[in-house]
Amino acid sequence: MKYGIKRRWILVGAVLLAFGIPSTVPASDDPVALVRDVYSRAATLGANALPERDFLALLSAELRKAWQLRGKPAGNGAGVRTAVFGPGAGAGRSVAVQRVTNIPGLPKERIVAVEFTSGTEARQVFVHLAPDAGRWTIVNIIYDEGDDFRQSAERFAKAAG
């Protein structure tokens, strides 16, 4: 009798795991959830920070190549954080994501706005995503200070040689 009860609980647990608990990985068809996850992780320092390899996996092939050619050492920390949030949001400042929203209007691509604070300063970036092989890739990040990720990566790649 006890064996039958244990089997039921195991079955109930399996069903709950399969259907009842949402995945921590955002759905590939939801660009807002993807960007929210990336920016929440990039705001964190230390062991829970966004690893460079995870960041690179989200970039378009062209942007990934420019990032890799920039001539700076690989790793986590200020480089990825500055790439995601823009100049002035490196490892020395606290960063907190406030709001992530879709900007409607593009038929195939998406622009997602990210409002955040860097220290006490309110800031915003726009993440430009495009579909690629059934998933969303980042094709540019437009910073509120007039620069963008693509231009910065290309500039660093040229300077590196």
Look at residue 68 and tell me if it is in a domain: yes
Look at residue 10 and tell me if it is in a domain: no
Q: Work out the pLDDT band at 105, boundaries 50, 70, 90.
A: confident
3-state secondary structure 41-77: HHHCCHHHCCCHHHHHHHECHHHHHHHHCCCCCCCCC
Look at residue 74 and tell me if it is in a domain: yes
Domain, as residue range, for 135: 27-160
Q: What is the pTM of this model?
A: 0.77
* Region at 37 (left for phi over 0; alpha for psi -120 to 50; beta for the rest): alpha
Name the percent of the chain lying above pLDDT 70: 75
| 14-68 pLDDT, tens digit each | 333 333 333 334 445 799 999 999 999 999 877 678 888 999 999 999 999 888 8
Look at residue 108 and tell me if it is in a domain: yes
Which CATH number fits the domain that encloses residue 119? 3.10.450
Look at residue 89 and tell me if it is in a domain: yes
Look at residue 9 and tell me if it is in a domain: no
Structural domains counted in the chain: 1
